[in-house]
Amino acid sequence: MTGAVLELDQVALHFGGLAAISDLSVSVHAGEVLAVIGPNGAGKTSMLNLVTRVFDASKGRIAFKGQDISRLPRARIAHLGIARTFQNIELFDAATVLDNLLLGRHRFGGGAWWRQVLRTPALTRLEEAHRAKAEEVIEFLDLSPWRNARVAGLPYGVRKVVELGRALCSEPEILFLDEPASGLNPEETRDLAFWIDDIRSDLGITVVMIEHDMSLVNAVADRVVCMAQGRVLAQGSAAEVQSHPDVIAAYLGT
């Protein structure tokens, strides 16, 4: 593990009078799996929405590999190598699994307009490279039985894997997963744990996972940050954080 790949420094986010995030400072180390836990409404998804520029921070700095990204246009985020999945799966239901995965290649472009009109060899090579990456991800996530199926008809657990696959197709340096285990059965959650481990070890991608399922957190997280009321309450190993008195009190609502 090396230095911080992503740093949030005293970040705040307000919705009207409500402080969803207050003075939040979090560092993500390159090559780690960081789990972000905390009770409902703690600000976990808001933090992810700040990093991916869905919302503007009202205060503070967010740096990716030393570059301040807090004011970048949202569309630039994927180009930098930051990918995410959503709490409520966001896929193109009418399209096939393969086509959804190919959408993940968006950041690598489709070539200049004149290449598309003339169908140049360079464009053909680009399309072949996109297709090869999508096939690699299909293989990696065992999605071959559904390659040409429309997403709309797929079981929930498979759709979650497709969304993960689309994020991987963008070849991110850092991958944010928003509640990846929610709605999955125990067997699917075990598969997910293996994939997250492989995403970090084999693909070298840093993973930040917002998660309520402590079996998954205990299985894959190198480090855990617990948030409550928009701040960091505790951080450390899964065991340290789960036994922290403030964390126990936050979950009990005391």
Ligand X SMILES: Nc1ncnc2c1ncn2[C@@H]1O[C@H](COP(=O)(O)OP(=O)(O)OP(=O)(O)O)[C@@H](O)[C@H]1O
- Contact residues for ligand X (CB under 6 A)? 15, 18, 20, 38, 40-46
CA gap 186, 177 in Å, rounded: 18
Which C-beta is closer to ligand X: that of 43 or that of 180?
Answer: 43
Q: How far is the CB of 56 from ligand X (least distance, A)?
A: 12
CA nearest to 97, candidates 50, 151, 56, 157: 151
Report the residue count for the chain: 254
Q: How far is the CB of 217 from ligand X (least distance, A)?
A: 13
CA nearest to 127, candidates 109, 139, 148: 109
Which C-beta is closer to ligand X: that of 126 or that of 247?
Answer: 247
Q: How far is the CB of 46 from ligand X (least distance, A)?
A: 3
Which C-beta is closer to ligand X: that of 141 or that of 227?
Answer: 227
Q: How far is the CB of 151 from ligand X (least distance, A)?
A: 23
Residue 142 — φ and ψ, nearest 5°?
55, 45
What residues have CB less than 8 Å from 145, skipping those under 6 apart?
A: none
Which C-beta is closer to ligand X: that of 18 or that of 94?
Answer: 18
> Distance of alpha carbon 142 from its chain centroid, rounded?
20
